[in-house]
Chains A and B, each alone.
Chain A
Amino acid sequence: MTAPTPPRWLDGRPWFAALLALCVLVPFLVSDYHVFQLTQILVYAIAILGLNLLTGCSGQISLGNGAFYALGAYVSVILMVNVGVPYWLTPPIAAVVCFGAGYLFGRSVARLEGLYLALATFALAIVMPQFLKHDALATWTGGVQGIVLTKPSSPVPGVLNNDQWLYFYCFLIAVVVFVIAWNVMRGRTGRALVALRDQPIAAAAMGIDTPSYKARTFGVSAMYTGIAGSLGAFVAGFISPDSFTILLSIQFLVGGVVGGIVSIFGTLFGAAFIELVPDFANKFSDAAPWAIYGVLLIVCMMVMPWGMAGLVRSVRFRLAHLSTARTKI
């Protein structure tokens, strides 16, 4: 039986174009605070994408990606404040540093399987704030107080205000990293990663160099997360060790699971979720957002383990079946 051809309105491309157009138009239509939130969503989406590539696509469970987010943020800010590098040049440098750090960490833990890797990365995330607070680094990191930085200003103040400018800067980077991730996952490397996740022994037997692939994926994941960290520092305008606790890593995990841990575009939904839920739930109690996160993690695992992206996919699939069934009659 051949797969049913979906009706034209279910085809992804026009929707995708509409989404892009919407992303370009929206900053001119909403308030500055909402533009700020949208920028933060893009930043989270890049970070969650980094987690999904690692945990969803290659099956290496990481509870410590927040550590690389912190690294990216600190590299960027230290370069700006202490070396005087212009802000727009720092994300690529942070990307390189984080790739290196992630690759080395990935190389040393490449032998570990699921659970043990989760343990090691969990430990990494708990320890990271202590590293950043350490006296020996305090001249650069600002110790417990952290560093306040001036937000990047728009080069075309008449056309875009500062918030809008930062939004489009992050949007451009997000488009680049999403296109790369999309192409990588559909190509040879992506198939190798999925093979490693689902059938590690068969994958190794077919000549996939397991440790090297795992370490490189770790590097790429850290790189994406680091880029997000450095953009996140611009958006927040402030970094301190206590903004990068284990809870940040857990937040990425929540975003990944809710959006769909193996999905690339589900990350956008997940990012919107972790940005907007605290905004809404904090009205009730400080504990409320986390209670919602925790319950959703468990409920998602019970009823929709592939998250929102999985839900959308199955609805599309059913609609496609439905419409072909009708045309037959």
Chain B
Amino acid sequence: MQALLHQLLSGVAGGAIYASVALALVMIFKATHHVNFAQGELAMFSTYIAYSLITAGIPYWIAFVLTLMFSFVFGVAVQRLVIHWFRDRSALAAVIVFIGLLVIINSMAGFLFTYTQKGFPSPFAGQAWYGTTYLSPHEVGMIVVTLIVLAIVFLFFRFTRLGLAMRAAAENPQSSRLVGIRVSWMLALGWGMAGVLGAVAGMMAAPNIFLAPDMMSGVILYGFAAALLGGIDNPWGAPIGGFIVGIMENIAGAYLVGTQLKQALALAVIVAVLTFKPSGLFGRTVVVRV
């Protein structure tokens, strides 16, 4: 029973990472109907920036904030410089461009920071008061940081003018343009925010999975599974999907399939959702007029 509870809770902690990644994916999907295959690599690159700042002697939380700022600018720049040119192109062209981005960012990280694995510090000390028998302090910290970030994102979209404008631009670009919203810049801001969410996920995940150019391949897989499970066009569904797949991963890893096939579980979730309920748990079923 204790073991089960332990698995359950650390599943929630892992789910926090997937929740952030899934939300980043959903934000971009909702605005542009593209799946950002490079999301994991963006997060990985941000984490390397954080690593460089921390090893340069900057205190963790200042490095954390600087990294988030960098990630925002980086996300906006990617949208403005690359993605923007492909806004009216086919799904195939978009997928190819995203894969191109993935490869470029990955090789950039390999070139600048080498391919060897690095340890990444956690800001939550090993013996802090909030650690329990079930959750390490870092896992508690992961959950808390993610919840704070999710809350900020929610408050931003719900209560600010800019958030409203971004939602409008995603929902109905033409009418938004008519009322004076600069739609393509709203999309760029969305990319920036997705970059920030990814960076949070990367920095929170890195102490557990180590820092390497391919560190996010497992995480992004679960991010996809989470986004699809929650409904890829539903920003509410994404975090819920994230926590569900996090728990599933841990429980199934411990009791069903073993640790060797953890990623296969994500594939199973993806194929099952797409086959049986493509709109996910909370998504809208899209009806297209023929």
Contact = CB atoms under 8 A, between A and B. Distances in A.
A293 B96 CA distance: 11
B33 to A, nearest CB: 8
Contact of B103 (A55, A131, A293): A293
B271 A108 contact: yes
B101 A127 contact: no
Given A119-B270, A123-B267, A201-B290, A63 B104 contact: no
A313 interface: no
A291 B35 contact: no
Interface in A85-131: 108-109, 111-116, 118-120, 122-124, 126-127, 130-131
A303 B110 CA distance: 27
Interface in B224-238: 224-225, 228
Interface in B183-241: 217-218, 221, 224-225, 228
Contact of A298 (B34, B101, B228, B267): B101
A257 B96 contact: yes
Contacts of B290: 201
A302 B82 CA distance: 10
B278 interface: yes
Interface residues of B, number: 48
Interface stretch (B14-22, B87-95, B125-133, B140-148): B87-95
Interface of B: 33-35, 37, 82, 85-86, 89-97, 99-108, 110-111, 115, 217-218, 221, 224-225, 228, 260-264, 266-267, 270-271, 274-275, 278, 290
8 nearest A-B pairs in the assembled complex, by CB-CB distance: A297-B100, A294-B104, A294-B103, A114-B91, A290-B107, A287-B111, A287-B107, A287-B110
Given A285-B111, A298-B82, A109 B266 contact: no
Nearest to B38: A294
Interface string A154-172: 0000000000000000000
A250 interface: yes
A298 B100 contact: yes
23 contacts: A55-B92, A63-B37, A108-B271, A109-B274, A111-B278, A112-B274, A113-B91, A114-B92, A119-B35, A119-B228, A120-B270, A120-B274, A122-B224, A123-B221, A127-B266, A130-B260, A131-B261, A253-B96, A286-B115, A287-B110, A290-B104, A298-B82, A301-B86
B266 A295 contact: no
Given A123-B221, A130-B260, 7 more contacts: A111-B278, A115-B34, A120-B271, A123-B270, A287-B108, A287-B110, A291-B103
B99 A253 contact: yes
A102 to B, nearest CB: 15
Question: Chain A contact residues: over half helix, strand or loop, or mixed?
Answer: helix
A109 B82 contact: no
A109 B260 contact: no
Given A246-B217, A297-B97, A122 B107 contact: no
A301 B83 CA distance: 11
Nearest to A118: B95
A294 B99 CA distance: 7
A253 B37 CA distance: 14
Interface size class of A (residues with CB under 8 A): 35 or more
Contacts of A239: none
B35 A133 contact: no
Question: Chain B contact residues: over half helix, strand or loop, or mixed?
Answer: helix
Contacts of B99: 63, 250, 253, 297
B91 A127 contact: no
Nearest to A298: B100
Contact of A109 (B86, B111, B271): B271
Given A115-B34, A133-B260, A290 B110 contact: yes
A27 interface: no
A250 B93 CA distance: 14
Contacts of A279: none
A320 B187 CA distance: 44
A302 B85 contact: yes
B108 A124 contact: no
Nearest to A124: B267
A109 B275 contact: yes
A305 interface: yes
B96 A301 contact: yes
A130 B261 contact: yes
Nearest to A201: B290
Given A111-B275, A118-B95, A120-B274, A127 B264 contact: yes
A294 B100 contact: yes
Given A130-B264, A246-B217, A250-B99, A115 B82 contact: no
Contacts of A177: none
A134 B106 CA distance: 27
B130 to A, nearest CB: 34
Nearest to A261: B92
B95 A290 contact: no
